[in-house]
Structure 1
Amino acid sequence: MAIVDIILKVDHELRLKEIIYMGESKKWFSDKTLYRAIGEKLDYIIGTSITSDGGIIEIENKFFKYQWIEEKNGGTLYLSRDGVLLDLYEQTIKQVAEGIQIFDKNGYFIYGNPASEKLEQYKNEDFKGKHVLELYDLREEYSTILTVLRTQNPVASRCDRFKVKNGKTLTTINSGYPLKIKDRIYGAVVFESDLSVLKQIKKRTFNLENYVESNQSPSDDSLYTFDDIVHTSKGMKDIIYFGKKVSLTDSSVLVVGATGTGKELIAQSIHSFSPRRHKPFIDVNCGAVPYNLFESMFFGTEKGAFTGSVTKKGFFEMADGGTIFLDEINSISMEMQAKLLRVLQEKRFQRIGGTKYIQCDVRIIAASNEDFFQLMEEQKVRQDFYYRISTIKINIPPLQERREDIPILAEYFLKNLCNQYNRREIIIAPQALTALLEYSWPGNVRELQHVIEYGFNRASEETEILEFQHLPDYIQSSKSYTHKTAQLPKEFVSEVTDTNPKNFQEQMELYERRIIIDSLILYKGNITQSAKTLGMSRQSLQYRMKKLGISNM
């Protein structure tokens, strides 16, 4: 066991009663992360059951190797990050195509990776503790390992010819390096390759070059990815950054947001970015699952369980190795929450009418458009169920809180419609864009998409500009927009509504003036915010204002 970082003491009911931090381990966690868990069951805190032979657990995205010591009045859990690192290092070495051998400073064998075992046809347990001269029939001056240990200097790409234990002669290309800690040598490592290994490395390189040169996507899944999220706001950038970090874990995720904010888009993106991306993604609208069919749909059925039943997989079995997305999870009854909770805790279930347990490896992503704390107060959601599904919580802000995303989203939806129906490119008029920016968007991104689709269908096929009059009536009559327009100075209203330019250049300048003036009006003369919305620097906007004769309001 490596050095202990954290000690968790539990009582006879396996409830956490004391935490002891060693060294600087307390700095690894946010304030009170573990202290909030005092009094909680140990298996709930670490998300798994403890076994006497040890294992690996995760706390706040940090992995620890543990050792369990049972005591008279409870027990103690010793956690070590170094133990996990050693396991990870060993797993890494096992994936290397070249043979790797490690010897101590006296030339005795310590470890060989699978590639070395295959190359020289030996087993680690047969070599361990034996000297290099016992293992190979070679002259001392031609041994890479002995040369490195004797000189304490690296040896690069040297050709060695020697006999292995079974009498076979091998010719290898070796590179050896001394293993030093604080300038003191503790051993040496040698990397060995023969012709077959070199061919294997060459093949990998060739395949990599083909992949890099290919324009084809490595995955043809139809699920959304983080690259599909159209945005420019900092809020969405932060969510995507956090979502990518979360994707690499198996922690349960709860996505919370109002209707139409894109909860399923985030859920699919997390799955698509995760190591489970090549496994199933099963999305379930919990609000549409009938109460009397809930268990059979989630857990499956065995033939004969009830009249007309057949052997059929449920959602958990279908999603094994992948992800289940539980949309509208707040609509699940308390009774069904208890049954789901048991599966999430034990990671196994029985089909309806079945007698054997089926193990499941499933990552849960849930979504809700309601406040869970209020639902818990109203006793519509179990506390233990909420804490199990919300290990990580992602809040998606409504569209009205990220208005800078409105122009880019509107343009994206309009461009897609033009491509879908083979129409010429259409741009959005400044007055229409101002109306979109001023509207409150209770239906969020989904409502914006429908509004753009309405305007697209209302405009004629020859239309090149989506105008204010093409928008739905309720957008045109929006109190916030009409009130805002009523307060504009006359000179700005005339600039916005003038539609009689004399030639192309004047038309382009007028159009540019209208966009800039609308943005300045919207942000009350704030040049920095206007430039950000228009996608340009503050200096570029000031230059264009001066060129077009627009004074700062």
Structure 2
Amino acid sequence: MSKIKQLLAEYPFLVKLFNNIPTGIYICDTEETIIFVNDATETIDEVEAKKVVGRKIDDVYDSHESAMRKVLETNRDVDHFLCRYSRNERQINQICNGFPIIIDGITEGACSIEYNTDFFREIIKNQRTLQQRFVNTKNSTDSAFGHIIGKSPSFLNCLSIATLAAQSDSAVFLTGPTGSGKEVFAKAIHSASARKEKSFIAVNCAAIPETLIESILFGTTKGIYTGAVDRKGIFEQAQGGTLFLDELNSMPLTSQAKLLRVLEEKKVTRLGSKDSIDFDIHLISSSNMIPQKAIENKSIREDLFYRLAVVNILIPSLAERQSDILPLCQHFIEHYNEKFNKNIISVNDAVKDILVSYNWPGNIRQLKHCIESAMNFVSAEDTQITEKHMMQFLAKIEIGNCASDIAVSVTSDTDKTKENENVFKKIESNEKQAIIDALLKNKGNVTYTAEQLNMSRQSLNYRMQKYGIKRRNE
């Protein structure tokens, strides 16, 4: 009799204990012969214990995947081992934890604790319910910032400053590369402020044609130009609430001068009108270019910047907060589980390595799109995202590695940041790399690239000129 059988015979309470555990338990000896299964296994695996004990692992499963075999091969614990096999023409998926059974210093067998994936699906559903209840009971400030994921020191500092900024009406200036979450911060500041019941209006300055930006900002009166009607500008529309001017560095300097005057007078005048209108708003602005560089390049007026940057928040790129990549990934998985009615638990180890090692030129927005793409390819039976679900993302990396085969070239600056370059240079370099990657993916098509980067063609051409990015036929 094996030592494991001997122990089970000498201590029957162990058998009773195992049979009262609602998860499946298998025990085998070093010859891969199953010597014990508990009662829960009969329900989970649809087998009879008496027909399993005494048989080899391969005789019970139609798959070579086995946590017990893995344990015996390595003599080490295995965690979250995915096992798939068929039983009575039904596909069964299990997550298993296994460990060696060592008696008197000698490995006598292996134990596998098995969870049917339905168990995890129930946990995920319960977790969603609990999270929703938790969010509903949080106070306004915690709720506003509680959904923003990040634990890296630089990012926590940003959250701390933003939380304080929400308590006053001082102008806030957010700096960060495209896709880093500037609008998320702006919305959170608004939601945590005393103005949360009023309007939050966001305007992307890079997406508005130069000829229209002043009419959109300040409003129009009927007849000022052909087709003009009496219309409120966004300053009036945001009355009592928050106005977010995104990518202010893309606003023409002439419009910036008029914006400065409006802020100084705290009155706005519609185009074609002589009447001034008082406004009361909390103004938040942003730039995807470091302010010092934008001022040097004459993309932002210096006097305007100092009026807008009473509180200045520098949001780091995702590459600078590597420890936040996997928590963000898990957050997006849970989001798309609910949206797509999927039951993914996590990404596998290989995908984790890919995600952490990638430089994410598109930052959080790119990571979110990557997970959304993968979630479209998982099946109802999948519990993890694997490499096969990320073929489009991996193909994009491969395109980046084969840049010489595509008609895009860079004629100024170096693509690689120096180890000692400061954070300003890094953010600018990330934006530049994001544009290069998108151009490569779209084979140099500026229109498609602008759509992918969520910016106007005019704004993209400006950035390509600024960074010296040219298509090879230019």
Alpha-carbon distance between aligned partners in 1 of 2:209 and 2:352, rounded to the nearest angstrom: 43
TM alignment of 1:2-41, pairs within 5 A: none
- Runs of 4+ in structure 1 over 3 Å off: 213-220, 472-479
5 Å matches for 1:526-541?
none
After superposition, where does 1:88-487 map in structure 2 within 5 Å? 225-472=144-391, 475=394
Shift of 1:420: 1.3
Q: Is residue 175–residue 313 contact of structure 2 (8 Å, CA) maintained in 1?
A: yes
The 1-side partners of 2:347 and 2:138 are apart by 36
For the 8 Å contact 2:344–2:382, the answer to whether it is kept is no
In 2: Cα distance, 1:264 partner to 1:370 partner: 15
Matched with 1:194 is none
Do the aligned partners of 1:232 and 1:408 also contact (CA within 8 Å) in 2?
Answer: no
Which consecutive unaligned segments of at least 5 residues does structure 2 have? 1-132, 402-474
Contact 1:439 1:475 in 2 (8 A): no
Post-superposition offset of 1:410: 0.7
Paired AA for residue 269 in structure 1: A
Shift in alpha-carbon separation, 1:215–1:262, aligned structure 2, 3 A: closer
Root mean square deviation, CA, Å: 2.7
Inter-partner Cα distance in structure 2 for 1:407 and 1:375? 33
Kindly tell me the number of residue pairs found equivalent between the two proteins.
266
Residue 214 of structure 1: how far off its partner (Å)? 12
In structure 2, how many angstroms separate the alpha carbons of the residues matched to 1:359 and 1:282? 18
Relative distance call for 1:423 and 1:381 in structure 2 (3 A) is closer
Q: Deviations over 1:88-147 (max 9, x none)?
A: xxxxxxxxxxxxxxxxxxxxxxxxxxxxxxxxxxxxxxxxxxxxxxxxxxxxxxxxxxxx
Is the CA contact 1:451–1:472 (under 8 Å) kept in the aligned structure 2? no
* Distance in 2, Cα, partners of 1:217 & 1:306: 51
Please give the alpha-carbon distance, in whole angstroms, between the structure 1 residues aligned to 2:135 and 2:263: 40
- C-alpha displacement at 1:426, in angstroms? 3.2
Write the distance in 2 (CA, Å) between the matches of 1:466 and 1:418: 12
8 Å contact kept, 1:256–1:370 = yes
Q: Report the TM-score, using the length of structure 1 for normalisation.
A: 0.45
Q: Distance in 2 between matches of 1:215 and 1:263?
A: 22
1:265-302 CA distance string (max 9 Å, x none): 00111111111111211110111222222222111122
CA distance in 2, matches of 1:467, 1:335: 51
Shift of 1:247: 1.0
Consecutive unaligned residues in structure 1, runs of 5 or more: 1-212, 483-553
Q: 1:344/1:477 Cα in 2 relative to 1: closer, same or farther (>3 Å)?
A: closer
Please tell me whether Structure 1 or Structure 2 has the larger radius of gyration of its CA atoms: 1
Q: 1:388 to 1:407 in 2, by over 3 A?
A: same
Residue-by-residue CA offset, 1:9-53 (whole Å, 9 max, x unaligned): xxxxxxxxxxxxxxxxxxxxxxxxxxxxxxxxxxxxxxxxxxxxx
What are the superposed Cα offsets for residues 360-390 of structure 1, whole Å, 9 maximum, x if unpaired? 1122101111122222222232211111111
* Letter paired with 1:429: N
CA distance in 1, matches of 2:251, 2:223: 27
User: Which of structures 1 and 2 has the larger relative contact order (alpha carbons within 8 angstroms, sep 6+)?
Assistant: 2
TM-score by length of 2: 0.52
Letter in 1 for 2:365: R
- CA–CA distance in structure 2, aligned partners of residues 219 and 284 of structure 1: 28
Structure 2 Cα separation of the partners of residues 449 and 403 of structure 1: 15
Q: Is the 8 A contact 2:220 2:271 kept in 1?
A: yes
SS at match of 1:258: coil
